[in-house]
Amino acid sequence: MSATKMLQILDAPGKDKGRTPAGLKNDDLKAMFRAMFFTRLLDQRGMNLQRQGRIGFYVPSFGQEASQIGAGYAMADEDILFPSYRLISIALLRGIDLRHVFNQAWGNAEDVCKGRQMPNHYAFPEINWQSISSPIGTQITHAAGAARAAQIRGDKRVSWAWFGDGGTSSNDFHAGMNFAAVWKAPCIFMCENNHWAISVPQEMQSASATFAEKAVAYGMPGVRVDGNDVLAVYEACREARDRAVAGKGPTLIETVTFRMGPHSSSDDPSKYQSKELFESWQKKDPIDRFRAWMKGKRIWTQKWEDELKEQMLAEIATAVEAAESTPAPAIDTLFDDVWAEIPAMLLEQKAALIDQIRRTGDIEDTGGAFPL
């Protein structure tokens, strides 16, 4: 594998060319397709809900499903994830209940974060998924530290840090990469190069020929892989994980893909992205590409996909209905989970707030639109 040459297994059109990576059975391939397809349907519904004014914000991953699911399938259950905010596909692949996703979108009483986090900033401790943070790159140093801790304890677990091409310009990218490399910590740095840091194109982000080659300066392997080829992503990540577990240190993997949609529901990519560029990448849609390959291998049928789609849409609709009908968190929960013992000052504020609600039936609305 190379930091400049791109690893590919499927040919660009999909068709029936391309080998199956070692260890993957037909059931694995179908599970990978299902996860990619489900992510696409979920994102379409999430964007629709925001446009309808039913939720305030959504971050889709249109076009990046193979980059994510290929890596997610290479992970072990005990691995630790330090994700970016465009990665819900892997949480679902690892068994997170879909209701948690929509509870967080509404910030309702069943939301694990009790409505305190921005939408799409999930926290799933049951799958070792660390809380997402808005500041770009902070998760990179966290992942490096967790990897070093696992190394000291002798755990056979790997830490995964996810970030975009824009994240490589953060101070934390340098600090995390350098720290992990010096200690040969079991960490995999996943750079999803979707060509845009919101509206900043990759050529204005870095003068390097590739993002993978940045690994050379830190003394670790850099691997460049076709991020729209789910099998190539899986193979690159599996090999990087085997290397980390064997004590050979971290790897930087650049998955070259494209964001076939907005940065978030507050973004309009038509303002900075040409129609021709979008259409050229649309022809490389990772789901269409994998579908064509599976069809050539007689693994996929239209009947199977139609049944999947019906089942998935029903599952999404049920989760949406449940989340939308769940009330908001109780106001007094604002004071929970910060102090082991709430100080007198906050107890007074809590009492004053409850008294105001008792007297007026509501709290003061200070106004202000959603910030992003």
Cβ-contact 323, 48 below 8 angstroms: no
Our answer to whether residue 86 is catalytic in this structure is: no
Nearest by Cα to 11 from 298, 296, 303, 301: 296
Our answer to whether residue 174 is catalytic in this structure is: no
Q: What are phi and psi of 107, to 5 degrees?
A: 65, 40
Nearest by Cα to 151 from 189, 180, 190: 180
Cβ-contact 161, 176 below 8 angstroms: yes
Going by the DSSP 8-state scheme, the letter that residue 11 receives in this structure is B
* Architecture field, domain 6-324: 3-Layer(aba) Sandwich (3.40)
Catalytic residue among 40, 45, 100, 259: 259
Going by the DSSP 8-state scheme, the letter that residue 133 receives in this structure is -
Two tokens at 195?
Answer: 């060509």
Our answer to whether residue 272 is catalytic in this structure is: yes
Catalytic residue among 86, 142, 241, 263: 263
Residue type, 99: R
Spell out the domain ranges in the chain.
6-324, 330-372
**Tens of each residue's pLDDT in the chain, 372 residues:** 667 789 999 976 666 677 899 999 999 999 999 999 999 999 999 999 999 999 999 999 999 999 999 999 999 999 999 999 899 999 999 999 999 999 999 999 999 888 888 889 999 999 999 999 889 999 999 999 999 999 999 999 999 999 999 999 999 999 999 999 999 999 999 999 999 999 999 999 999 999 999 999 999 999 999 999 999 999 999 999 999 999 999 999 999 999 999 999 999 999 999 999 999 999 999 999 999 999 999 999 999 999 999 999 999 999 999 999 999 998 888 888 888 899 999 999 999 888 888 888 777 666 666 555
Which CA distances in Å does 369 have to 9, 115, 266?
Answer: 46, 16, 12
Catalytic residue among 272, 289, 291, 298: 272
